[in-house]
Amino acid sequence: MKSAVVVLPGLNRDRDMIAALTKIGGKPPLTIWQTDTEIPDVDLIVIPGGFSYGDYLRCGAIAARMPVMRAVAEKAAKGVMVIGVCNGFQILVEAGMLPGALMRNASLKFVCREVKLQVANANTAFTRSYSAGQIIRCPVAHHDGNYFADPETLARLEGEGQVVFRYAEGTNPNGSINDIAGIMNEGGNVLGLMPHPENLIEHAHGGSDGRGLFESVLGEQSRILTEA
Amino acid sequence: MNDLSVITKISVASMIKARVTVTLKNGVLDPQGKAIEHALDGLGFSGVGSVRQGKVFDLELEGTDKAKAEADLKAMCDKLLANTVIENYSVTIT
């Protein structure tokens, strides 16, 4: 399993993501820069969180139109797995790789806290290490995580099992429609989520509920490597 | 009149000025507009039925072909200036 992390100006969770992929996957991911137009042969591309291009215009809007994102879209079309976390999710939505939009939090406040997530679909490449309906802890840190989609799109997402994570037990931090925290594309190989599973992977983080996502994606091999 | 002012006048004459207005679609929740509405109420401006916040872009385009400018501006809106999932836009050439 070869992975890569996209690094853009203004992203600040790239090192956390690289650490998580290294610790759970057993080897460090490649890094891809904003101007790269070709991405090496990898099985997984991760777009981490932060404030790419200062969140100018709309969160993720500028990043989504950089050359590297055309290359990411080409890889995704060939079936390469793509995960966007937080600003990465916003970038995927702005790039049209995932449906809907992420708007300003309903509270208008930046939220930085822990929420409960329900694994809404455990039958995906991203969540198979979890059980269906499992409730996990996960940190969030964002100002624009209020997921919105028109009624037809929403019905399709719900009907096709594309809602992967939901805020559970009244912890919706942003007013997201249907408590949506993470969705995947129709092909099941592109996932976007607002919470930060990479920040809850080991004892020092106060828990490891986020590991399941990485273990699901990185496969059986990773589970053996990270027993402890 | 010196040479520089002549150049400036020529360049102004061959520019098209345009204003792009981007607003949230009906039915899309606008928490910022709501907050502004409450603040106006707090300032004593009663009777403000609703506030919707949007964005304005003033652009200067080279050339004199207004039809082409309008087509270009619409393409800019579709590709970048507006997120058409949640926003409408209008283009005015001045």
Please return the burial class of A211, using the count of CB atoms within 10 Å of its CB with bins 0-12, 13-18 and 19+. buried
CATH number (domain holding residue A80)? 3.40.50.880
> Between chains, do A94 and B28 touch, taking CB under 8 Å as contact?
no
Closest-CA residue of B relative to A151 is B27
The parent domain of residue A172 ranges over 3-225
Q: Which of A25, A185, A30, A78 is nearest to A121 (CA)?
A: A185
B28 lies within 8 A of chain A by CB: yes
In the three-class reduction of DSSP (H, G, I as helix; E, B as strand; rest coil), residue B18 is classed as: strand
In a domain, B19, yes or no: yes
Query: B69 lies in which domain range?
Result: 15-93
Q: Is residue B18 less than 8 Å (CB to CB) from chain A?
A: no
Report whether pLDDT(B41) > 60: yes
Q: Do B28 and A104 touch (CB under 8 A)?
A: no
User: φ, ψ for residue A44 (rounded to 5)?
Assistant: -145, 130
At residue B11, the pLDDT reads 54
Burial readout B12-29 (b: 16 or more C-beta within 10 A, e: otherwise) = eeeebebebbbbbbeebb
Beta-carbon contacts below 8 Å between A and B:
36
**In Å, how far is A100's CA from the nearest CA of chain B?**
6
Q: Does A178 touch chain B (CB under 8 A)?
A: no
Structure tokens at B57: 């872009």
In a domain, B7, yes or no: no
- Which residue's structure tokens are 């399941």? A212
Spatial distance between the Cα atoms of A105 and A109, rounded to a whole number of angstroms: 6
* pLDDT attached to residue B29: 86
Q: Give the model's pLDDT for residue B31.
A: 87
A113 token code pair: 């806290």
Beta strands in chain A (DSSP E): 3-7, 30-33, 44-47, 81-85, 101-103, 111-119, 135-142, 146-148, 163-167, 180-184, 190-193
Q: Please state the domain count of chain B.
A: 1
Would you say residue B4 has pLDDT above 90? no
From chain A residues 195-224, the ones with a CB under 8 A of any chain B CB are none
Instruction: Band the pLDDT of B6: cuts 50, 70, 90.
Output: low
Number of domains in chain A: 1
Q: Taking each helix axis as running N to C, give the angle between helix A14-25 and helix A211-218, from 0 to 180 degrees, rounded to the nearest 10.
A: 60
CA dist A215 → A9, A222, B36 (Å):
28, 6, 45
Report the CATH number that the domain containing residue B72 is assigned in CATH.
3.30.1280.10
What does chain A come to in residues?
A: 228
Is a pLDDT exceeding 70 seen at residue B3?
no
**Residues of chain A contacting residue B83, judged by C-beta atoms under 8 Å apart:** 58, 61, 94, 101
Mean pLDDT of chain B: 89
How far apart (Å, rounded) are the C-alpha atoms in residues A71 and B93?
36
Angle of CA points A40, A12, A143, to nearest 5°: 120
Q: Provide the pLDDT for residue B2.
A: 52
Asked if residue A192 lies in contact with residue A183, where contact means CB atoms within 8 angstroms, the answer is yes
Can you read off the two tokens belonging to residue A127? Answer: 């969540």
Query: Across the strands, what pairs with A114?
Result: A139
Instruction: Summarize pLDDT for B68-81 with one digit per residue, the tens.
Output: 999 999 999 999 99
List per-residue pLDDT tens for chain A, 228 residues long: 899 999 999 999 999 999 999 999 999 999 999 889 999 999 999 999 999 999 999 999 999 999 999 999 999 999 999 999 999 999 999 999 999 999 999 999 999 999 999 999 999 999 999 999 999 999 999 999 999 999 999 999 999 999 999 999 999 999 999 999 999 999 999 999 999 999 999 999 999 999 999 999 998 555 444 444
Find out whether A85 and A197 touch, Cβ atoms under 8 Å. yes
